[in-house]
Chains A and B, each alone.
Chain A
Amino acid sequence: MSVYFDEMFNGDGSLRGPYEEIGRWFNAEDVSRLRAKQREAEEVFRLTGITFNVYGKAEAEERLIPFDIVPRVISAREWQRLERGIEQRVRAINAFLHDIYHRQEIVRAGRVPAEMIAGNEAFLPQMLGVSPPGQVYTHIVGVDLVRTGPDEFFVLEDNARTPSGVSYMLENRETMLKMFPELFSATNVRNVSDYPRNLRRSLAACAPACADGEPTVAVLTPGIYNSAYYEHAFLADQMAVELVEGHDLRVVDGRVCMRTTRGYTPIDVLYRRVDDDFLDPLNFNPDSALGVPGILDVYRAGGITIANAPGTGIADDKAIYSYMPEIVEFYTGEKPLLQNVPTWRCSDPDSLSYVLDNLSELVVKEVHGSGGYGMLIGPTANKKEISAFRDKLISRPANYIAQPTLSLSTVPIFARSGLAPRHVDLRPFVLVSPEGVKITPGGLTRVALKKGSLVVNSSQGGGTKDTWVLED
């Protein structure tokens, strides 16, 4: 029997409640038909162009993220709990950001050390005193959750900058609906397809005061060679708004305008998928060709809404992450509903010595890293890797945090040998506007396709699954 919690099968091989229909369906299916369907799904993805580019590889290399046909199912009760916890956390993140860029009460109260803010690369002094429309900083958030037991969910990471993956949530569902319509007639799966409409509405609700009539929304992409370009185009298309690049934009009369066939037209809300550093060559990285010179000045003067706001990275930084329980309590006055993974901050000497003594059992991450790069997974690393990482830790301790290796839950994939358990995580997508917090019932389930692997990132051989939230 596995030591990991499997979301589909109980220890005795019987089906867990939410998976009863799926299990019945799978047993009645012909394996070769399923295999054909799996290939068919990949063909659909390739033709639609749902690919991502791998950085550092030849420009021509567009890869497909493998899609697994066995859905990941979450019961109505489980979802309700998650929803409450996510909403609480996202509200706290926005309150934290507002505070950090204004009075910094949380620092004054001694709950977060001042050097965690001022010395942080993700902190933008240019944002001090700026209040975005509706006090919304993180219009779009992806909260990464992992599960270790029937009722044990942990937040692994908050993505408060430019979370990606929502197009997979939507395309995975479309693909499943096309291939297995009969499955959906038999189960009560909640709809995810209104995400783009909600996104547009949510963005429009954050338009600046100068917006005239129906707000003009646009999506800013770094361009067709960006790894998530497909998603940028997909979202712009689904929201029926323009997909712009930096060189389509310029500041005209205090507004950020896009070059159209009829002249320059002002944009009210810019959903940017470009990092802070590249947003404005006048205010940040002067070499950036992806951004718009002067956009930050327009923003500070209230001429445009940028979503997410510049400087939100201070809230999803891995060092700040360890303070999230305090942050939630400080701003909501409630105990956090979702747990944090226990985290050792290596900047603290006691923690560092504990981490160094227990490297082979811990996961060590770079504070500013993402995409699964630059991390050490102690239990699967060899001696050489561990000793190399030890040197890095000693030379720059503040650059790292460490966490226990979690026993991530598994969901079966349809492998060569039939159903086989693989580790998963979950990224639900959250929209924040003055109208409220909206969480799409579903999300992106990433699955480590390699047996035993705990790394689910697509850049490291992970795949995805359709994620079902059941109706009561």
Chain B
Amino acid sequence: MLGKTAGGLFWMSRYLERAENTARLLETGQRMALTRTKNSAEEWGSVLKTAGVLDGYHAKYDEISKDNAVDWVLRDADNPSSIKSVIKQARDNARLVRTALTHDVWSAVNSTWMQIDEVMKRRVNERDLPATLELIRQQAALVRGATLGTMLRNDIFDFTRIGTFVERADNTGRILDVKYYVLLPTAFSVGSSLDNIQWESILRSVGAGGGYRMTHGEKTRPSDIAQFLILDQRMPRSLHFCCRKIQENLSYLKKDYGFAGPSCEASNALYKKYLDQKISDIFEFGLHEYIQDFLTDLGNLSRQIEIDYRFYE
């Protein structure tokens, strides 16, 4: 396979995953804003920060308002991480690697772009926002279904999966990075209704409310949430789950190619350093430092993969 093709598959998957995660983030932000009318600017600020688009927003707008924040995250062409921008980039990458995709995967990606492009020609008003976000999630599910159902389990598939899980780990990490303080055991967090809303919102932003209840019951406790998002082995958006998948797919490539670059070892080291742990150790080390270090190492791993498999010249 061409190095460029591996890169195209990797980025196509990252962008699609990012679109879905950003949609979920917006949904959560919208819900938070509806629940606590007072501090809505602060809440939208945290959404922008989690999506990594706060600086860009401030370059365009002075104050944070709900409408502008939603538009910036959803469809602004000046924001390279807006949902519309990333879906366009996912589609461009899919075109680039068209020969590596099945017909079903290609038409799923192409139809996603065609529908999003249509829906986002104009500002999306509040009434239509839920349906728009739902459309993005549905299309992401369609692409995923086509990928799982029609693609050969070969190196093409491996690069697709690696992209998905690098992006997903990054996303879960960012949510924790921005909201870590809510999960810290302090004298004040005694389970007030405000805390509960914050905790719920963290779970909601990774689509894990139901999974959490199934695992830990109806009582939300910050350390359980942290454990669930970081270390749970069955939660498909936990750092543990994502890293396992990255490791797994890199090892398939190693087997398939008969060689492995430094990234394969780096993925094992990442796992060992951050996930072969107890949640109490992580809190002891410091949740915030832990997450920041993890995100840095994940970024380095991603770059090493790009080098090992010759994505670029």
A interface with B by C-beta (< 8 Å): 46-49, 224, 229, 233, 236-237, 242-245, 247-248, 258-263
Contacts and interface: CB of A to CB of B under 8 A. Distances in A.
Interface residues of B, number: 24
A237 B155 contact: no
Contacts of A259: 2-4, 310, 313
Contacts of B174: none
A262 B313 contact: no
Interface stretch (B94-102, B197-205, B243-251): B94-102
A380 to B, nearest CB: 37
Contact of A48 (B5, B107, B253): B107
Contact of B2 (A46, A48, A229, A244): A244
Given A47-B114, A245-B4, A247-B313, 20 more contacts: A48-B106, A49-B95, A49-B110, A224-B95, A224-B96, A229-B95, A233-B95, A237-B98, A242-B1, A242-B5, A242-B99, A243-B98, A244-B2, A248-B3, A259-B2, A259-B3, A259-B310, A260-B2, A261-B253, A261-B310
A40 to B, nearest CB: 15
30 contacts: A46-B114, A47-B107, A47-B110, A47-B111, A49-B95, A49-B98, A49-B106, A224-B95, A224-B96, A229-B95, A233-B99, A237-B98, A237-B99, A242-B5, A243-B98, A244-B2, A247-B4, A247-B313, A248-B2, A248-B3, A258-B2, A259-B3, A259-B4, A260-B310, A261-B3, A261-B6, A261-B257, A261-B309, A261-B310, A263-B310
B92 interface: yes
Contacts of A243: 98-99
Contacts of B4: 245, 247-248, 259
B206 to A, nearest CB: 31
B95 to A, nearest CB: 5
B147 to A, nearest CB: 17
A244 B95 CA distance: 13
A236 B96 CA distance: 12
Nearest to B155: A261
A352 B95 CA distance: 48
Contacts of B2: 242, 244, 248, 258-261
Contacts of A224: 92, 95-96
A38 to B, nearest CB: 19
A170 to B, nearest CB: 14
A242 B155 CA distance: 15
The residue in A48, A259, A260, A263 that gathers the most chain B C-beta atoms within 10 A of its C-beta is A260
Contacts of A242: 1-2, 5, 99
A272 to B, nearest CB: 16
A260 B3 contact: yes
Given A48-B107, A49-B110, A260 B95 contact: no
Interface in B77-119: 92, 95-96, 98-99, 103, 106-107, 110-111, 114
A262 B257 contact: yes
A237 B105 CA distance: 14
Interface in B262-305: none
